[in-house]
Structure 1
Amino acid sequence: MKVVVIGGTGLIGSKVVRNLSDHGHEAVAASPNTGVNTLTGEGVAEVLQDAQVVVDVSNSPSFENEAVMHFFRTGTTNLLKAAAEAGATHYVALSIVGTDRLPENGYFSAKLAQEELIKASGLPYSIVHATQFFEFTNGIADSATEGDTVRIAPVKFQPIHSDDVALAVARTAAGAPLDGTVEIAGPDAFRFDELIRDALAVQNDPRTVVADPRAPYWGSELEEDSLVPLGSAQLGATRFADWLAQQK
């Protein structure tokens, strides 16, 4: 089976390609680095020729609200059109747990717009909702830092390792379309501020983490369950403590 992975040279995409290839599929990595640009349409029709499955794990180069909305609306529209014309029978997209719960968050709003385009396209589809990745811990801390203080809301947080995300996406791509959404998360739930505090301590980072219920997360105030699955979810195998121990 030919599977084209849009964003296939990135953190998740490269691992999805490897997982699919290891199981005998013809997995093709597509990204601007390989001459495929979903924003302009360059190379999209060519790479999708004879593809049965299209997997979109691409990401916007800018997180500015207008830019990220343009990226996902335009890129997804172009990709869906090309996938339909190529006769693809399964469209898979990686998105985020909680996209419909944080309307003030420009990135989440853009991902929600992407999901709505996919659902309305008429193509058989599967959407994988993942919680935040272990690898984003430092970036989250940096975004919440003022001086030497990191302000984090004391809410539930259940991050997942990128390897487990890629495995779930690959398995979804190899299976029948869900025409719905599956949620994935790490095996353990934490309090958000405590996890960030532990992560910084392991790196001997001197910043002080303060639990602040009103601390914004990329522009949004968080409720207790904003960032975690509300129902059942597939759980990854990698524990945060084990991953963190390897970062020393």
Structure 2
Amino acid sequence: MAFDKRVLVFGASGTAGSGAVRALLRQGYGVTCVLRSERSVSALPAGVEVVYGDVTAPEMGLAGALSAEKFDVVVSCLASRSGGAKDAWAIDHDAQVTVLDLTKQIGATHFILLSAICVQKPTLPFQHAKLAFEAKLIASGLTYSIVRPTAFFKSLSGQIERLRRGKPFLVFGDGTLTACKPISDDDLGDYVAGCIEDDTRQNRILPIGGPGDAITPKEQGEVLFRLLGREPNFKHVPIAMMGVIHNVLRCAGLVSVNAAEKAGLAQIGQYYASESMLVWNAEQGKYDADKTPSTGTETLFEYYAKVIESGVAIERGDHSVF
């Protein structure tokens, strides 16, 4: 079958990557996915081609495996699993640089990068790694689209099982310290795929959220209790507690690698407990829901209703930290 454009996708087996692949197929593109092993094939929809290779080991000859193919666009949804410093720089930067080099070698002219909205106020290793690669992509001479999504549905679903077991919903402070415009996998996938033909999404950094108003953790909990037919029951955790945990683990990390890794995770948790996933309005010095673009039709609360009705537990995988 002949396609007007062919797209090479990295990170296709992840949540966001699989959404992008589905969208690319719906929009009629030829899609080839680079996978590390055959174990990930089952996560892909029918209609895609597969090439095996490891971007963390570029010397293994992935460029040669792709050299006979012609691709117009590369989409990279690679992301570090833990967010820790070593993993972040290995994946969010080094592996992405390998993908960028491959893009040039195979003659593709448009690179679509799935980044994250939280890099606006970087304090964490993975944020610095992402920003460092964004800068290299911008300077590469390729057409680029840097998509910075807000929170994913899965990352906001971790307490459903707690509530099913009759436990309270945990919030930091009063539950209104942060907010986001959650976006579904398919709505994000459609937005990413739309970057190929929409020149207003090219050579730009693109923050994006889902439809509707920004949502606080307190509102998330209230809706979940209503869907479960329970009276609201919140447990309020002081935000300062996250800082104390991080500092204790950081000190222990001076003599323990395990404690150092846990300190990194605690730092990530502290960040997400205190920072909104919205566009940062530098002029006003605050996060701005009105300046955070929206796309799509699927809402978080519709997703919650489907999950609760199904009775199925959500496997969050890499989203268990975030």
Structure 1 runs not aligned, ≥5 long: none
Tell me by how many angstroms 1:9 deviates. 2.4
Pair 1:81-2:101 in alignment: yes
In 2, the alpha carbon distance for the partners of 1:196 and 1:43 equals 49
The normalised TM-score by structure 2 is: 0.65
Residue 192 of structure 2 is aligned with which of 146, 161, 169?
Answer: 169
Query: Relative to total residues, which structure has the larger strand share, 1 or 2?
Result: 1
The normalised TM-score by structure 1 is: 0.83
Tell me by how many angstroms 1:202 deviates. 4.7
The aligned length equals 242
Letter in 1 for 2:55: T
Alpha carbon RMSD of aligned pairs, Å? 3.0
**CA contact 1:92–1:126 (8 Å) conserved in 2:** yes
Residue 236 of structure 2 is aligned with which of 178, 194, 210?
Answer: 210
In 2, the alpha carbon distance for the partners of 1:63 and 1:199 equals 28
The answer for the alignment partner of 1:105 in structure 2 is 124
In the superposition, relative to structure 1, how do residues 4 and 78 fare at CA in structure 2: closer, same or farther (>3 Å)? same
Identity over the aligned pairs, expressed in percent? 24
**CA contact 2:92–2:126 (8 Å) conserved in 1:** no
Pair 1:194-2:219 in alignment: yes
Letter in 2 for 1:97: I
The answer for the alignment partner of 1:133 in structure 2 is 152
**CA contact 1:54–1:91 (8 Å) conserved in 2:** yes
Which structure has the larger Rg? 2
Pair 1:239-2:299 in alignment: yes
In the superposition, relative to structure 1, how do residues 156 and 12 fare at CA in structure 2: closer, same or farther (>3 Å)? closer
Post-superposition CA distance 1:86-117 (Å, at most 9, x none): 2211000111113121x223333332223222
In the superposition, relative to structure 1, how do residues 190 and 221 fare at CA in structure 2: closer, same or farther (>3 Å)? closer
In the superposition, relative to structure 1, how do residues 110 and 209 fare at CA in structure 2: closer, same or farther (>3 Å)? farther
Tell me by how many angstroms 1:244 deviates. 1.0
Structure 2 runs not aligned, ≥5 long: 38-50, 162-166, 243-267, 280-287, 309-322
Query: Relative to total residues, which structure has the larger helix share, 1 or 2?
Result: 2
The DSSP-based 3-state class of the residue aligned with 1:166 is helix
**CA contact 1:94–1:128 (8 Å) conserved in 2:** yes
Pair 1:119-2:138 in alignment: yes
In 2, the alpha carbon distance for the partners of 1:209 and 1:54 equals 45
The DSSP-based 3-state class of the residue aligned with 1:132 is coil
Residue 227 of structure 1 is aligned with which of 269, 277, 286?
Answer: 277
In the superposition, relative to structure 1, how do residues 232 and 181 fare at CA in structure 2: closer, same or farther (>3 Å)? same
